[in-house]
Amino acid sequence: QPAAPAEQPAAEQPAAEEPEMKFKVCQVTDTGGIDDKSFNATAWKGAEDAVAELGVEAKYLESQEVADYEKNLNAFIEEKCDLIITVGFLLGDATKASAEANPDFEYTIVDVSYDPVIPNVVGQVFQTDEAAFLAGYLAAATTQTGKVGTFGGLPIPPVTIFMDGFARGVMYYNEVKGTNVEVLGWDINDPEGGLFTMSFDDQTKGKEFGIQLMDEGADIIMPVAGPVGLGTAAAITERGSGYIIGVDADWVLTNPDYAPIILTSVLKKMDVTTFNVIKDAMEGNFTGGITAGTIENGGVDLAPFHELDGMVSDELKAELEDVRAKLIDGTITLSDAFKVQ
Amino acid sequence: MASTIIQRKKIETVSPTRKLVMGIVFVVISGLILLFFALNSEAEWITTFVMNPGGLERGLAGDWVLPTSLTLYVLVGLTLGMGIYQLLRGFGKQTNAILGVVVALFVFAFLTWAAGGKSLNLGGMLSSAVLLSVPITLGAFSGVLCERAGVVNIAIEGMMLMASMVGALVGSITQSLIIGLLASIAASVLLALVHAVLSIKYKINQIISGTVINIFSAGMTSYISAKFLQRYEYLNGPPIFPRFPIPLLADIPIIGPILFNQNIFVYAMFILLIVLQVALFRTRWGLRLRSVGEHPKAADTLGINVFRTRYMAVLLGGVVAGIGGAFFTLGSVGRFDEMMTAGKGYIGLAAMVFGNWTPIGSFGAGMLFGFADSIATKLSILGTTIPPQFMSMAPYITTMIVLAGIVGKGQMPAADGEPYEKE
Amino acid sequence: MTPVLELKGITKQFPGVLANDHIDLTLNKGEILVLLGENGAGKTTLMNILYGLYQPTEGEIWVEGKKIEVHSPTDAINAGIGMVHQHFMLIPVFTVTENVMLGDESTKAGGFLDPETAAQKIRHISNQYNLAVEPSAYVKDLPVGVQQRVEIIKLLYREADILIFDEPTAVLTPQEADELFVIMRELVNQGKSIIFITHKLREILDVSDRIMVVRRGKIVGETTPQEADQNKLAAMMVGREVQLDLEKSPAQLGETVLSVTDLTVTDDQKQITVDNVSLTVQSGEILGIAGVQGNGQTELVEAITGLRNPIDGKIEILGNNITHATPRQVTELGVAHVPEDRQRDGLVLSFPIYENLVLNTYYQEPYAKGVNLYYDRIYKNADQLIEDFDVRTPGASTPVGSLSGGNQQKVIIARELSRPIKFLVASQPTRGLDVGSIEYIHNRIVKKRDDGCAVMLVSPELDEIMKLSDRIAVMYRGKIIAVLDANKVTKEEVGLWMAGINPNDSKNNNRESANNQKI
Amino acid sequence: MTQDNENKHNFNKLNHVAEEVLADSTKKKSIWQTMLIPALAILTGLILGAVIIISTSEEVYTGFQQSFGAGLSASWSAVANSYSSLFKGAFGDPAYIIESLRSGDALEIRRALNPFLESLVVATPYIFAGLAVALGFRAGLFNIGVEGQLFMGAIAATYVGYSIKGLPGFIHMPLALLAGAAGGAIWGFVPGWLKAKTGGHEVINTIMMNWIAFRLTEWLLTGPMTRPNAGRIPVSPIIEKSAEIPQFFKAPIRFHLGFFIALAVAYLIYWLLFKTTWGFNLRTVGANPRAAKYAGMNIARNTIMAMTISGALAGLAGANQVLAINRSMAIGLSSGYGFDSIALALLGNSHPFGVILGALFFGVLRNGATKMMVTTAIPIDIISILQALILMFVAAPAIIRAIYRIRKPKAGDEAVVFAGSWGGNK
Ligand SMILES: Nc1ncnc2c1ncn2[C@@H]1O[C@H](COP(=O)(O)OP(=O)(O)OP(=O)(O)O)[C@@H](O)[C@H]1O
Ligand SMILES: Nc1ncnc2c1ncn2[C@@H]1O[C@H](COP(=O)(O)OP(=O)(O)OP(=O)(O)O)[C@@H](O)[C@H]1O
Ligand SMILES: [Mg+2]
Ligand SMILES: [Mg+2]
């Protein structure tokens, strides 16, 4: 990096300029911003973990609009970043273009896989419905009212894959136990429908959806809409009955205030995969392609029950283990539409 | 001296075309109910309307269990009857009210059909509608206060946004609801003061002044949020005002749970509705405030301080908008996120215009928006085939149709938006 | 005896205008003092200072021998000063009671309004001073004459002793004005003192006890009605001898230019304001439309010029049916229109003079071809007209808004009269102008007539109508109730007609020839 | 008075002649004057922005905890770092440019020169959107609906861009641009028509139309216009190569023909507004509708036309983004051009050339902010704050005059702010 002309000596803070060159990791967010409580934030956590454990330097740029993607990527090219992380399907086109134009740079992108693969990009994809399936099974086993609910932010695959897996988990439970637990907000036979807030930031909407789902009898709700889900958590807390299932990260860790109502979370471990890609790149082991998080390799999972552990009987835990095994060995198959590989 | 009293002949006020058009509208609505709902329902369907919002123990009422198609045919008959009466005789001055009734019956028919063979929590939906209307209505009240005094305020969105951020921040630091609420109000009032100074003292175009504040608030709240609130969780976790059932009233079936078992923001809305309506139209304070919005010079010649009155109105508008803003964080979700007011302030303005610059009208319009919102959610949950995007467009389209004059032209304060030049 | 009011050395400097220049004035108890002066002399400014609306640059105000500070109307009201403003200060959507009590409200406990008590007081005042008005009526529904009564009641309600009337007669018929003078006398007899502002010479001699003349911000003289006559007052006011009459040759009548048959027009509130009117104007004559403002003149003019769609009847110009024509179609037939409100209708204040001078011809040759505007020609036109019509301005690119009223009017006159026109509709062409400008514009209009143009002049100023017209049509409550020969009718008769009274009924003299209803 | 007037008259005559002769010099003076206030407004805005940066900087607080001097120097370095990186991000780093030129590496040179050209790229949609608002203001209309019109323009351009195949570029690209203009035009027409025919407030109606546009694009992108075989992600298919607005250089420089199209459109609007009968109509209707009616102009038609063209300009902003840069339509198309452009139009006094200057300024600001965020981690939202402050000072020159003790200009010299009040003038 060229040194700035020494015209303002006062500006040269000792901390600003360090002699040794650190490995530089740079993240471009989509328009949701770094604090979206969802994939941008989770991927960034991977980068921060790398700062703490591997001593890399991490920066991010928030995109405010689609045209910023390319611009921000260019800014990081100019910064000579060693690894560029992009997040979300919306950055798919821009990342591809940038990677192809700058073959000497290394990239990783969350939630997108390229076919054919681009040699300098690692696509991180997640078979989230497998974990959501477990959550659905758990919810069906736990509900008091016989109804559970889910809703999404926008009807897009990274969101609906959660909802679909969740609903299938409930249906499987019904099938096995002969019960009739109902899922509000998603019908596996109607992938064009579903309940959506059409927003990833309107938390009052999240609250409203929570209230109405509870009014219709749902007592366990899985919101797949980033921070909008926190509105739902507020609604459930206020009503004093019912539980929420978090998504992406373990909500008990990210929103400890709501620990008493968080039954579990459907983990999509973007932080872990991102961290791994950073580590590989740093050690010179970077190879382009796809890394898929599945229930089998732990890339997606169900979070621990924390405070509510007592609610989940050992028997149910065993059943969940059994379901997990069946998902892994292929006895239980999920929707082809959501197959990531 | 009575010689020049000019007695003018009046032309007939209710135009015959309007009478005819309205009649046809009623009949068409009746036809729509028949075609889309009545003929589209199975004979054995039963519609269950649950009247109790979930999670409440007080004021419970029994469910309404209705045979779906019979109900629908009754509704077809009712609306058709009103259409025919309108065509033959005409409802005269009542036409608008009857239009409201017919539209309400249509919506009821729609719900009856959509919930055919299932159950629908009508009580919950209405209770939700009340809650959803709070920020819109409070925004509209803020607008009424300002505009009745002659100051256009499109900065309500910005004021609410800033209030919600500051409420979350201060509420989190102090963990006190009251201090958080007061801080919200203070923040909003500060912006109102800026608007007042710019538009009253410096006499700059009031829409521009409002735009300045909206851009500033969007920038400032996002900036603070990105720099502090999202980084340090302890700065973004204020407490939330709990539900507070009003003794006795909360036990009334149906109405109790919907209106009287809510949090203080809902009550604030009702209290402000009554207080503002009475104060504006029945007190000295209101007479003076309105005079300043109608004819500031005349008010000035009678010793009313136009500037002071306008400042007071705008600052009070700031207080009301501040309460509306606090609703988002302290009254609803207990957390601030960028742009979380999501345009409610603008919709509040639409509600104010819709409500003809009166508190009661604004409240009605606010309820309508809230109702449209909650019905859209409800229908998505029930799984109708209409894309949710179209459901959420409904209130916007309704507003445009209403503004286009179906309900007639409103009476805007005569000096609204005009700076007062003293010399 | 100490005078009730004394103004000492009042000076008011506006940016660029010295509106009041060391004015001294005394008002004695129980007298009517007239302040006379031409437009812009500074009369209203002085009164606004007295009433606390403006702060004087210098000077003192003494009431009942005590010096007072008047920083706001409240101070003035407390000192017993009340003012009926030149432009009414009433709120149309409020009731009479609300308008009257505003600022001095009757209230019940807790600030709640008590309209009944206030209405009671209003009724009491109405009876005492013979000012009939319904307290619960909305002001917007009242005719101007009654609105004025409301204004007066407002003062009496506040128990003012010093009453200021700023041009209260502008909107009244001579008869209504006379009735107002009776009321003023009554007020004075009950111990009030009055300052009465006007520039109508006739009224002054009728009503005043004392007359002070203001010119260009200074008091230039004092006189009494006994010592003065109209010519003397006019000379004092303007500062030179004025020709109150106009030299004018007899009309050379030509073809019929305008013919209106059974025309009915409504106003914005859909009320019929022009009621079955028929009239004609021939080339070479000036038809004056007399009438108190608000009797349908505005709507009549708007209908003829295409600005308003009539609901019934027919309008023809030079044989073309223009009943439902657009303003542009009317203009293109050779019609010029001097609108009654120059700033509202006739000019775009933020535009430069040169654009205002082509406001309705910009799209025609030579200024435009297709969509292209030729600004060099537009400038040239402006320079020419500024020269020809003596518009006083720093340059053609000055925004019209920064010209004085008279010069703004000259811009309109220049634009309208410089075209080859066959018909001129002039609505209050000299409203608010000083004597010099009035003379100039009157001459221009008469010259157009002499060139064979038909002219329709609408004015509530009887003097103007009498001076210019060849025929006079009187409009009353939307109807033309008389068409009179200007050479054979007196001012008083026209005044009576304007009030809706047929002078022939009472006098029964031999003037029926003037009253032939040929319309 | 007559005497006085006589003198005044003669003097004025002289003046007039002088004016003719010196027409140019007087104009220069007035341009200087009109530029002074915005320039000082920008300066003041930047100063206040610095205050905000300092008062929200943790380093400054820790600095002041150590010592007053450390606090001051931390304050200075916070501001200096921010603004110098803003400058470098917007115009390029002089040292880097020299170094790259010396190295002669084409890619390095492109990277070094990119910041300035990128500012022009960012400015381009601002020019279109700013023109849209400005044209509305000139016609007495407050178009808050630029954002929605921009979305509709982008959607229409995208559709034409990908659905028509096999056209040569010189036909396809202009066609797609026109489609964009048409998409925005429809969205402007509706509130224009409602205003003209029913008197409905265009402010409220355009706000409503914005929401409808957002919902409609969401629906289109997840439904009828979604990219095939991509799951249901809300992204349209990629437009054909032939529909692209060409870029002039290789990556990373995105500088493209759209910038010059924007300049040309700005000139066109200038010509329309100030050199044609049509513009005369429109400005008259905007400045005094009653006088316009009196002068025989059709107010309803002008209102509808103005809103339609305003919408078309906004539509071009959206089309430009899709055709030149994004190459497909997705949610998150705009970071709020529609709202920023209100500020921008006012900054440019609703004059097309002023709009260009304002757009360049906003482009510089926003582009520079990216660099500022990379180097100092100051949230990009600071830009909105600056915009608001600057707009405030531009709209209230009295404040600026009070701060800098500038004397009030003569009446008429002051630039008129062209903006309708509530619901315009009816
Ligand atoms: N607010 C003001 N600012 C600047 N100049 C003013 C203002 N008000 C009045 N003037 C100027 O002061 C002068 C006196 O005006 P004023 O209204 O007192 O006249 P007037 O005698 O009442 O005239 P008229 O008969 O037309 O009512 C005029 O030149 C007028 O233009
Ligand atoms: N309210 C006002 N604010 C600022 N300037 C004003 C105001 N009213 C009038 N002026 C200015 O004061 C000057 C005198 O205006 P005024 O209309 O009184 O002129 P006048 O002497 O009556 O001339 P004319 O005979 O042409 O009507 C003009 O230059 C005008 O621009
Ligand atoms: Mg006056
Ligand atoms: Mg004058």
User: What is the rounded distance in angstroms from the CA atom of residue C220 to the CA atom of residue C232?
Assistant: 13
pLDDT tens-digit profile of B104-123? 899 899 889 888 888 888 88
Q: Which of A61, A62, A78 should one mutate to test binding to chain D, selecting the residue with the greatest count of D CBs within 10 A?
A: A78
Are B198 and B83 found together in one domain? Answer: no
Residues 6 or more apart from D228 whose CB is under 8 A from it? D237
User: What is the rounded distance in angstroms from the CA atom of residue C243 to the CA atom of residue C439?
Assistant: 9
User: What is the rounded distance in angstroms from the CA atom of residue C37 to the CA atom of residue C25?
Assistant: 14
Decide if A337 and D231 are in contact by the 8 Å CB cutoff. yes
The DSSP letter of residue C514 is G
Amino acid at A95: T
User: If you measure from the C-alpha of residue C49 to the centroid of ligand 1, how many angstroms do you get, rounded to a whole number?
Assistant: 12
User: What is the rounded distance in angstroms from the CA atom of residue D130 to the CA atom of residue D349?
Assistant: 11
Are B285 and B314 found together in one domain? Answer: yes
Three-state DSSP at D184 gives helix
Mean pLDDT of A152-179: 92
pLDDT tens-digit profile of C255-309? 999 999 999 998 877 788 899 999 999 999 999 999 877 788 999 999 999 999 9
User: What is the rounded distance in angstroms from the CA atom of residue D325 to the CA atom of residue D256?
Assistant: 9
- Nearest residue by C-alpha to atom 26 in ligand 1: C39
Q: Phi and psi for D128 in degrees, rounded to 5?
A: -60, -50
Mean pLDDT of C145-160: 88
Mean pLDDT of C488-515: 68
User: What is the rounded distance in angstroms from the CA atom of residue C35 to the CA atom of residue C167?
Assistant: 10
The token pair that represents C197 in the structure block: 């502002």
Tell me, using a 6 A CB cutoff, whether residue C149 lines ligand 1: no
User: What is the rounded distance in angstroms from the CA atom of residue A219 to the CA atom of residue A172?
Assistant: 19
* A35 neighbourhood in chain B, CB within 8 Å: 225-226, 230, 337
Is A29 buried (19+), middle (13-18) or exposed (0-12) by CB count in 10 A?
Answer: buried
Strand A243-248 vs strand A262-268: parallel, antiparallel, or unpaired?
parallel
pLDDT at B410: 62
User: What is the rounded distance in angstroms from the CA atom of residue B140 to the CA atom of residue B350?
Assistant: 8
Q: What is the pLDDT along chain D (426 residues), one digit of tens a residue?
A: 444 444 444 444 334 433 433 333 334 445 666 678 888 888 999 999 999 999 888 888 888 888 888 888 888 988 998 999 999 999 999 998 999 999 988 888 988 899 999 999 999 999 999 999 999 999 989 898 999 999 999 999 999 999 999 999 899 999 999 999 999 999 999 999 999 988 888 888 998 899 999 999 988 998 899 888 777 778 899 999 999 999 999 878 899 999 999 999 999 999 999 999 999 999 999 999 999 999 999 999 999 999 999 999 999 999 999 999 999 998 889 888 988 898 888 888 889 999 999 999 999 999 998 888 888 878 888 888 998 998 888 888 888 888 888 776 554 444 444 444 443 333
Mean pLDDT of B206-225: 91
Q: Is the pLDDT of residue C68 over 80?
A: yes
The DSSP letter of residue B197 is I
* C500 neighbourhood in chain B, CB within 8 Å: 3-4
Radius of gyration of chain A (CA): 21
User: What is the rounded distance in angstroms from the CA atom of residue A223 to the CA atom of residue A209?
Assistant: 9
In angstroms, what separates the C-alpha of B48 from chain D's closest C-alpha?
A: 31
Quick check: is B417 in a domain? no
| B393: contact with D, CB 8 A cutoff | yes
User: What is the rounded distance in angstroms from the CA atom of residue A213 to the CA atom of residue A219?
Assistant: 8
Amino acid at A309: D
As residues whose CB is below 5 A from the ion ligand 4, the structure lists C 39-40, 405
Do the domains at C5-238 and C247-334+421-519 have one common CATH topology?
yes
Residues 6 or more apart from B20 whose CB is under 8 A from it? B87
- Nearest residue by C-alpha to atom 12 in ligand 1: C19
Are B100 and B210 found together in one domain? Answer: no
Q: Which of B220, B346, B418 sits opposite D207 (nearest CB)?
A: B346
The token pair that represents A151 in the structure block: 């809703």
Are B72 and B144 found together in one domain? Answer: no
- Report chain C's mean pLDDT, rounded to a whole number: 86
**D92, closest residue in chain A (CA to CA):** A78
Q: Is the pLDDT of residue B17 over 80?
A: no
Chains A and C touch (3+ CB pairs under 8 A): no
**Sign of the torsion formed by the C-alpha atoms of B175, B181, B182 and B185:** positive
The DSSP letter of residue C390 is T
Q: Phi and psi for C304 in degrees, rounded to 5?
A: -65, -35
For the domain bounded by C247-334+421-519, which CATH number is listed? 3.40.50.300
The structural domain count of chain B equals: 2
Interface residues of chain B, partner chain C, Cβ below 8 Å: 1-11, 13, 282-285, 287-288, 290-291, 294-295, 297-305, 411, 414, 422-423
Task: State the greatest distance between any 2 C-alpha atoms of chain B, in Å, as a whole number.
Answer: 78
pLDDT tens-digit profile of A168-209? 999 999 999 999 999 999 988 888 788 888 788 788 889 999
User: What is the rounded distance in angstroms from the CA atom of residue D26 to the CA atom of residue D38?
Assistant: 20
**A254, closest residue in chain B (CA to CA):** B233
Quote the crossing angle between the two packed helices B177-196 and B206-224, to the nearest 10°: 140
* Cβ pair A90, A69 in contact under 8 A: yes
| D199: contact with B, CB 8 A cutoff | yes
* C347 neighbourhood in chain D, CB within 8 Å: 288, 291
Decide if B3 and C85 are in contact by the 8 Å CB cutoff. no
Are B107 and B133 found together in one domain? Answer: no
ipTM for the complex?
A: 0.83
Q: Which of C240, C331, C350 sits opposite D296 (nearest CB)?
A: C331
For the domain bounded by C5-238, which CATH number is listed? 3.40.50.300
Q: Which of C91, C138, C140, C171 should one mutate to test binding to chain B, selecting the residue with the greatest count of B CBs within 10 A?
A: C91
* Cβ pair D357, D346 in contact under 8 A: no
pLDDT tens-digit profile of A55-68? 999 999 988 889 99
User: If you measure from the C-alpha of residue C409 to the centroid of ligand 4, how many angstroms do you get, rounded to a whole number?
Assistant: 10
Q: Is the pLDDT of residue B406 over 70?
A: no
Are B389 and B287 found together in one domain? Answer: yes
Q: What are chain B's partners, defined as 3 or more CB pairs within 8 angstroms?
A: A, C, D
User: If you measure from the C-alpha of residue C486 to the centroid of ligand 3, how many angstroms do you get, rounded to a whole number?
Assistant: 30
Decide if A238 and B240 are in contact by the 8 Å CB cutoff. yes
Domain boundaries, chain C: 5-238, 247-334+421-519, 342-419
Tell me, using a 6 A CB cutoff, whether residue C298 lines ligand 1: no
pLDDT at C243: 59
B270 versus B56: which is more confidently predicted?
A: B270
Are B217 and B74 found together in one domain? Answer: no
Give the other-Cβ count within 10 Å of C239's Cβ. Answer: 16
CA end-to-end span of chain B: 35
**Sign of the torsion formed by the C-alpha atoms of A231, A234, A238 and A241:** positive
Chains C and D touch (3+ CB pairs under 8 A): yes
Chains C–D, number of C-beta pairs less than 8 Å apart: 96
Domain containing B305 equals 125-403
User: What is the rounded distance in angstroms from the CA atom of residue B134 to the CA atom of residue B263?
Assistant: 11
In angstroms, what separates the C-alpha of D326 from chain A's closest C-alpha?
A: 6
C106 versus B312: which is more confidently predicted?
A: B312
Decide if C436 and D16 are in contact by the 8 Å CB cutoff. no
Q: Considering only CA atoms, which of A105, A85, A90, A30 is closest in space to residue A63?
A: A30
Strand partners, C480: C475
* Cβ pair D125, D290 in contact under 8 A: no
* Cβ pair D311, D184 in contact under 8 A: yes
Q: Is the pLDDT of residue C136 over 50?
A: yes
| D48: contact with B, CB 8 A cutoff | no
Q: Considering only CA atoms, which of D134, D150, D141 is closest in space to residue D355?
A: D134
pLDDT tens-digit profile of A289-341? 999 999 999 999 999 999 999 999 999 999 999 999 999 999 999 988 888 77
pLDDT at D39: 85
User: If you measure from the C-alpha of residue C467 to the centroid of ligand 2, how many angstroms do you get, rounded to a whole number?
Assistant: 27
Tell me, using a 6 A CB cutoff, whether residue C433 lines ligand 2: yes
User: What is the rounded distance in angstroms from the CA atom of residue B30 to the CA atom of residue B39?
Assistant: 12
**Sign of the torsion formed by the C-alpha atoms of D352, D358, D362 and D365:** positive
Phi and psi based region of residue B370 (left: phi greater than 0; alpha: psi -120 to 50; beta: remaining): alpha
User: What is the rounded distance in angstroms from the CA atom of residue B232 to the CA atom of residue B229?
Assistant: 6
pLDDT at C241: 65
Q: Is the pLDDT of residue C10 over 50?
A: yes
CA end-to-end span of chain D: 39
Are B214 and B318 found together in one domain? Answer: yes
* Cβ pair C95, C135 in contact under 8 A: yes
Element (DSSP H or E) covering residue B99: helix B95-114
Mean pLDDT of B403-420: 72
The DSSP letter of residue A304 is P
Strand partners, A224: A152
Q: Is the pLDDT of residue A15 over 80?
A: no
The token pair that represents D397 in the structure block: 């020159």
For the D84-378 domain, the top CATH level (class) is mainly alpha
Angle at A40 between CA A38 and CA A46, to 5 degrees: 100
Quick check: is B93 in a domain? yes
- Binned at pLDDT 50, 70 and 90, residue C40 comes out as confident
Mean pLDDT of C492-513: 68
Domain boundaries, chain D: 84-378
Are B240 and B98 found together in one domain? Answer: no
pLDDT tens-digit profile of C432-488? 676 677 888 898 999 999 999 999 999 888 888 988 999 999 998 889 999 999 888
Q: Considering only CA atoms, which of D344, D396, D378 is closest in space to residue D85?
A: D378
User: What is the rounded distance in angstroms from the CA atom of residue D30 to the CA atom of residue D33?
Assistant: 5
pLDDT tens-digit profile of C319-370? 999 999 999 999 999 999 999 888 888 999 889 999 999 999 999 988 999 8
**B330, closest residue in chain A (CA to CA):** A234
User: What is the rounded distance in angstroms from the CA atom of residue A86 to the CA atom of residue A123?
Assistant: 10
Q: Which ligand 1 atom is nearest residue C405's CA?
A: 31
In this predicted structure, which of A102-106, A164-168, C200-204 has the lowest mean pLDDT?
C200-204
pLDDT at D342: 87
- Binned at pLDDT 50, 70 and 90, residue A11 comes out as very low
- Nearest residue by C-alpha to atom 27 in ligand 2: C406
Three-state DSSP at C166 gives strand
User: What is the rounded distance in angstroms from the CA atom of residue D323 to the CA atom of residue B419?
Assistant: 44
Are B176 and B97 found together in one domain? Answer: no
Helices (H), B234-305: 255-259, 264-282, 284-294, 296-301
Decide if C83 and B301 are in contact by the 8 Å CB cutoff. yes
Are B237 and B88 found together in one domain? Answer: no
pLDDT at B56: 76
The residue whose two tokens read 């009942």 is: C64
CATH of the domain at B322: 1.10.3470.10
* A30 neighbourhood in chain D, CB within 8 Å: 332
DSSP sequence for D115-163: HHHHHHHHHHHHHHHHHHHHHHHHTT---TTHHHHHHHHHHHHHHHHHH
The token pair that represents C192 in the structure block: 């009030």
